[in-house]
Amino acid sequence: MEEQGSFDAGRTTESKTDALIRRAYLFLEDGEWDKANEYCERVLDLSPENPKAYLGKLMVEQKAHRAEDLQKCETPFDHSTNYKRAVQFGGQKLEAYLKHCNENAKGRYEKRAQQEQEKKKKARSKFRKAVLIVAPILIIGIAVLLVLTNVILPKLYHDSFIREYGDALASIKVGDSFSFGSYEQDNDLSNGKERIEWLVLDIQDGKALLVSKYALDSLRFNNERKDVITWETCSLRKWLNTEFLQEAFSPTERRMIQNSFVKAENKLSYGDAAINDTYDRIFLLSSSEAENYLDWWNMYSRYTDFAFSRGLTYSDFYGESGFSTCIWWLRDNYYSLSTASCVDLSGNISAASVNEIGIAVRPALWLNID
């Protein structure tokens, strides 16, 4: 009787696993992979060495609706634990079939990998050929561009500049008044900008140092007050070399303005900071340059109507100069790093807070005249 009971229990388990396997394989046909995997797991709970359950789980991994679909797999699956268990428990026939499917997949995978390599090889070959064709053209193009930007265009700009200013440049000398560039001065916007008058302060190595004869505008040395502001960091330097440079000079004229070495100079009574030299196309005179280049008459600064409209500080007392004067900025610090040098209404070098309003601007520049 005990043997009969054991036999009946075995048949019951086998019957349950067969039913679960059939359900799992129906789920596989319908592509319900999670359900199929769940039922295969339930089979293995009852029969841990059931090869059909491991085969079903392998089919889930490979998204195969039927066992014959394993022959169409694109990648080898012999690394799979489910493959190994199906081979281990499935007998020779199943083992031979799965190995055959895996070899087919491996062959397709290797063929595809070889094709990819061939594509890459062809692409590299095409690229090399393209480089061999394009490189000489590119080199020629770069050479033409270099010649254009460094030889032809500079010469065209220079020739254009000479045509416009040649007569004046031929006889230019220190102390002359020279007309160059344009900026609003009469405060009548309807008639356009007026020519800027410059004083020739020095001539060296084919370049002339110029400072505007009149104060052209009124701006702060720096837009806000800070404990440390130098010529290198001030907002006025940025304005001169961007907005003013673009507004006052044509492209041809800008090409003739030298990007000049501007030495850092300071007259400090207290405070210390890194004071750096700069390179600028437009700058302000330093205190020492103003004293060396300008006589007492030109230390006084007259101003344009436009500069007056911008709110500069001026004097109605004509005094020695014989005309109304204004205060104008110099580039070095004076007394402290929060004050900048300026020329006062009496023509003397003084100082003002870097964010002081009402102080005029007389730009300076080195002009190529050869």
Model pLDDT, residue 213: 95
Return the higher-pLDDT residue of 363 and 316.
363
- Predicted pLDDT at 370: 79
Mean pLDDT of the chain: 87
Rounded Cα distance between 325 and 344, Å, is 9
What confidence score (pLDDT) does residue 34 get? 94
* Whether the predicted pLDDT of 319 surpasses 70: no
**Res. 270: pLDDT tops 60:** no
Residues in the chain, overall count:
370
Per-residue b/e over 111-130, b at no fewer than 16 CB within 10 Å?
eeeeeeeeeeeeeeeeeeee
pLDDT digits (tens, 9 = 90+) for 29-86: 999 999 999 999 999 999 999 999 999 999 999 999 999 999 898 889 999 999 999 9
Of 238, 191, 197, give the one whose Cα is nearest residue 219: 238
| Percent of the chain surpassing pLDDT 90 | 58
Q: Is the CB of residue 157 less than 8 Å from the CB of residue 189?
A: no
Distances (CA, A) of 238 to 223, 231, 235, 283, 360: 11, 10, 5, 10, 16
Q: Which of 52-66, 166-180, 242-256, 295-309 has the lowest mean pLDDT?
A: 166-180
Domain 1-171 has CATH 3.30.70: no
Q: What is the pLDDT of residue 4?
A: 46
Look up tokens 């032809």; give the residue: 152
The per-residue pLDDT for 288 is 94
Query: 150-183, pLDDT tens digit by residue?
Result: 656 565 555 665 666 766 677 889 999 999 999 9
pLDDT of residue 198: 97
Domain ranges of the chain: 1-171, 175-368
- The residue ranking higher by pLDDT, 325 or 131, is 325
pLDDT for the residue numbered 367: 95
Which pLDDT score is estimated for 159? 60
pLDDT of residue 6: 45
pLDDT of residue 266: 75
Question: Which of 101-105, 159-163, 281-285 comes out lowest in average pLDDT?
Answer: 159-163
The reported pLDDT for the residue numbered 321 is 47
CA dihedral 196, 201, 204, 207 (to 10 degrees): 0
Name the pLDDT band for 349 (thresholds 50, 70, 90): very high
3-class DSSP state for residue 315? strand
pLDDT at position 265 over 90: no
d(CA 284, CA 362): 7
d(CA 322, CA 296): 12
Question: What would the mean pLDDT of 106-111 be, rounded to a whole number?
Answer: 88
Q: What is the pTM of this model?
A: 0.59
Tens of pLDDT, residue by residue over 8-31, are 545 677 888 999 999 999 999 999
Q: How far apart are CA 52 and CA 29, in angstroms?
A: 15
The predicted structure's pLDDT at residue 264: 87
Q: What is the mean pLDDT of residues 279-306?
A: 94
What mean pLDDT do residues 76-98 have? 91
Q: What is the structure's pLDDT at 7?
A: 41
Residue 322 has pLDDT above 70, yes or no: no
